[in-house]
Amino acid sequence: MSLGPVMLDVVGTELTDDDIRRLKHPLVGGVILFKRNYENNAQLKALTASIHAVRQPPLLIAVDHEGGRVQRFREGFTKIPPMREFGKIWDKNPKKAKELATEAGWILAAELRAHGVDFSFTPVLDMDYGDSLVIGDRAFHLNPQAISDLAYALMQGLKKGGMPAVGKHFPGHGFVVADSHVSMPVDERDFDQIAQHDMQPFRMLIDDGIQAIMPAHVIYPKVDSKPAGFSPRWLQKILRERLGFNGVIFSDDLSMEAATAGGDVTTRALAALTAGCDMVLLCNQPAMADELLDNLSWTISAQSLSRLARMHGHKHPLSMDGLHESADFVRALHQVAQVGVVEGELFA
C-alpha cells in the first residue's frame, strides 16, 4: 500500500486499536507526534517502531521539534535554544553562529533519528518583525540574509543527522500579529513587499535544495482571498512555478482556527490538496480524523509519492548511547549548551 495524503496524530504513548485502524487507512501517509506521546526514550522508540510496523512502505513520522518553546520531547533530549539566539550571535560573529546552528541541527536530527522519527517541521523561515504572537523567538532574525544563512546551516546539520528539512511558514508569517491557531491572520501588504522581504529566505533555501515547505494559514488579500495553504496562486503559480520548488508541500494543521474558513474538514483537506499540497495535517481531533477518512476522495499523484518518499529519515541512526560515545557529538552538545536560555513551551 502506497502512502496516502493525510498525516494524523495518535492518542497516547502506545498505539490503540483506533489508532491502528486509522493508520491502516489508505488515505493516511504519516503520523505527527506531540508531547503527550512521550514518556521516556525507550517508550518513544517502541512507539515509532510500532507505527513503522503498521504497513509498508512505513508511514512517515514527524514532530514539531524546533527548539526553544517548540520542543515536544524534553526529558532525555538535549534542550535546543530558540532560533533567535543564533540570530543574536550572527550579529556579532556570523561564522560562529552558522557553526553553532549546524551543530544544533545535527543534535536535533541525530537524537530524533535515534528514536525512529523521520523528520521535524523545522526550520522557521519567518522574519522576526517583533510583533507576532506565535512566531517570536522561533524566528532567526529580521534580516533575510541572516535567516537564510542560519537556516541553511541548520539544514546541513539536519542532513548530517539523517533528516530532511521543512521550511515554514510560506510566504511568511512573521509580519502579522494574530496567531493562526486561534484566529485568522490577515497580511495587508502587496505582493512586491512580501516578495522582496519575507519570501527571500524561502527563495534562497529552495535554491539550496530544501526538501519540504509548509505554507502559512494567513490571508494576503492583495494576492489572493484564500489563506496561502489553500491558494493555487501561492502554491502553484508562485512556489512551484516562480520559485521552482519541487519538494513536498505540507499543509499546516487543518484543525487550526485559521483553517476553519475553508469549511468542514473534508472540504478543507480537498481545497488544500487541490491547491497544491502533497500532504495535509489534521491534529488533535480523532472524531474529525474519522470524518475525513470516511469522506475524502483523493488519488495521490506519482509525483507526490516520489516527493514524500524522500522524507523518510536516512542513514542508519546511532542509538543515544552511540551518539554519546562520539567525541564530536559530545563537543557539539557542549557548544550548543552555551547558546541562550530556553524558556517556557508552546503548544504542547
Query: Active site includes 17?
Result: no
What single-letter amino acid sits at 172? G
C-alpha gyration radius of the chain: 19
Q: Are 227 and 258 in contact (CB under 8 A)?
A: yes
DSSP assignment of 172-193: -SSS--S-TTTS--B----HHH
Reading phi first (left if > 0) and then psi (alpha if -120 to 50, else beta), residue 347 is in: left
CB burial of residue 60 (10 Å; 0-12, 13-18, 19+): buried
C-alpha to C-alpha distances, 205 to 37, 55, 144, 222, nearest whole angstrom: 31, 33, 11, 25
Query: Active site includes 181?
Result: yes
Within 13 Å and on the Cβ side, how many CA atoms surround 280? 27
Instruction: For residue 169, say whether it is annotated as part of any ligand binding site.
Output: yes
Q: Are 200 and 243 in contact (CB under 8 A)?
A: no
Instruction: For residue 189, say whether it is annotated as part of any ligand binding site.
Output: no
| List 252, 253, 278, 312, catalytic entry | 252
Instruction: For residue 168, say whether it is annotated as part of any ligand binding site.
Output: yes
Instruction: For residue 187, say whether it is annotated as part of any ligand binding site.
Output: no
Give the C-alpha separation, 208 to 205, whole Å: 5
Instruction: For residue 72, say whether it is annotated as part of any ligand binding site.
Output: yes
What single-letter amino acid sits at 72? R
- Peptide bond preceding 123: is omega within 30 degrees of 0, i.e. cis? yes
What residue numbers does the annotated binding site for substrate cover? 64, 72, 138, 168-169
> What residues form the annotated binding site?
64, 72, 138, 168-169
Question: Which residues are identified as catalytic?
Answer: 181, 252
